[in-house]
Amino acid sequence: MSAMCTLNPPDLELSPFEAGIQDAFQDLATDSLMSLRHAAKARFDVLGLPKPRRQEAWKYVDVQGLSRRSFSLPRPKGVDEAFVEWIYPKACRLSMFNGRIYNHGTCGMVQPLADAVIANPERLARLTHDVHQTDDALSLLNVALAPEPYSLHVPAGKTMERPLEVVIHHNKASNSFPAFYIELDENATADVLIRIKGDKHSVGSTYVQGLIHVSQAKGSRLNLTVLSNIAYAGYNFFNTQAVLAEDAQLKLFSTALDAEHFRHRMDVTLAGERADATLNGLSILSGQNKTHMHLRLTHAVPNCTSSQQFKAAIGGSALHEFDGTIFVLKDAQQTDAKQLSRNLLLSAKAKAFARPWLQIDADDVKCSHGATVGQLDEAQLFYLQSRGITEERAKALLTQGFCDSMLSDTYLDAHVKRYFMKRVHCALVAATI
């Protein structure tokens, strides 16, 4: 695609959605992020809205209706604090409603991104650079339009004493652009839990385009857990973008429980030697849920390691799509990359689509990927039944086991694990009915 293309040609009529984007952009209040917003907007105009017929990554994501809906940014509105349920008893807390911050505690490392870049212009330059690298048009919309992007910045050698818990939620029929930027300096460590929440009763057509942006300097470590529990109709799209410098370590865990029309696109680039990324995912779907886990993992330099494991238990007439590509660039020798997609179909109408892809341009690498789709193992079911456990109970146990193995990783905090176990159980009950 030529980078020379400019805005939509004037003779081409804009859809209400696209026209709304143009207007919303015009109306933005000026802040220190304007150059970044303009760069993102310009790139969005080049890439345009996703084209499911031409772009493999959007083939199964329902975005057809997006261009027909109207577009406007929501007005700021206060929300009752009691509405939020926190997982950590002691944590730095941040909550966003319709893309705007309405509560942030006393965590000194958290501040508006607009303020953060004034003190750190280099960071703005880096973010602008990242904008030019991205090929996911909708994530650019977030960069351009997010009303109040927030930032976590952990200085060199520092460790966040308490985990940071972020809750992102929205009300019905809104467009919202929650954005959270994480920056870890050399040898800094942080533990961040992001919960994307939806209210079952707020049935309406939302469009949420969230962004979690991570940049990790040398030797930094980040545990990032994303829990999506969005049981309402609309378009719930999130992007996580991470760039890791040498010796940096990222553990990302993305869960989608009972998520209605949810897409989580994760772009992780290992840009420094010996960087290591562990990306895990767990989806438990029921009813009409549609969840899309899209992943692009790039090994750009030698000696990096990565591992991905994505599991899905699919009930009802839900659809789960895993679309993951590992790119091993020419110079990335001694890469060790693993990818696994496992899908458990719990009902007659459940659907599982998987595209575990490898694109390898270096020769001295170890790369493997695998995918499985199936039901519970009959031998295991038989064994449990031979011990006097009913078929129903045996199925429930095995399904629980399939999911729980994803939670047994030690990097998940005990509180988070307990909360997840409960949620996983509820979601499984819904999925197996």
Q: Which residue has the tokens 């270096």?
A: 362
Examine residue 365 and tell whether it contacts other proteins (CB under 8 A): yes
How many residues sit in the footprint of other proteins (CB under 8 A)? 35
**Span near other proteins by CB under 8 A; candidates 18-26, 165-173, 189-197, 369-377:** 369-377
Report how far apart, in Å, the C-alpha atoms of 382 and of each of 43, 145, 335, 394, 428 are: 56, 55, 41, 9, 21
Q: Which residues pair with 215 in a beta bridge?
A: 183, 243
Q: Which of residues 28-87 bind other proteins (CB under 8 A)?
A: 56
Closest separation between CB of residue 56 and other proteins, Å? 8
Closest separation between CB of residue 318 and other proteins, Å? 11
Selected binder of other proteins within 360, 381, 398, 421 (CB under 8 A): 360
Selected binder of other proteins within 85, 122, 363, 392 (CB under 8 A): 363
**Span near other proteins by CB under 8 A; candidates 34-42, 155-163, 173-181, 368-376:** 368-376
Examine residue 375 and tell whether it contacts other proteins (CB under 8 A): yes
Examine residue 193 and tell whether it contacts other proteins (CB under 8 A): no
Q: Give CA–CA dist 150/181, Å, rounded.
A: 6
Closest separation between CB of residue 325 and other proteins, Å? 9
Examine residue 372 and tell whether it contacts other proteins (CB under 8 A): yes
Closest separation between CB of residue 293 and other proteins, Å? 14
Examine residue 307 and tell whether it contacts other proteins (CB under 8 A): no
Cβ closest to other proteins, residue 359 vs residue 405: 359
Q: Which residue has the tokens 């295991």?
A: 380
Selected binder of other proteins within 137, 212, 217, 352 (CB under 8 A): 352
Selected binder of other proteins within 8, 15, 32, 347 (CB under 8 A): 347
Examine residue 343 and tell whether it contacts other proteins (CB under 8 A): yes
- Which x/- pattern, by CB under 8 A, does the window 136-155 give for other proteins? --------------------
Overall size of the chain counted in residues: 433
Cβ closest to other proteins, residue 188 vs residue 350: 350
Selected binder of other proteins within 371, 397, 407, 421 (CB under 8 A): 371
Report how far apart, in Å, the C-alpha atoms of 290 and of each of 126, 261, 264 are: 34, 5, 11
**8 Å CB contact between 112 and 151:** yes
Selected binder of other proteins within 160, 270, 346, 424 (CB under 8 A): 346
**Span near other proteins by CB under 8 A; candidates 197-205, 248-256, 373-381, 393-401:** 373-381
Cβ closest to other proteins, residue 168 vs residue 293: 293
Cβ closest to other proteins, residue 208 vs residue 332: 332
Measured at the CA of 279, the angle between CA 255 and CA 181, to 5 degrees, comes to: 80
Residues at the contact surface with other proteins, assessed by CB under 8 A: 56, 330, 333, 343, 345-375
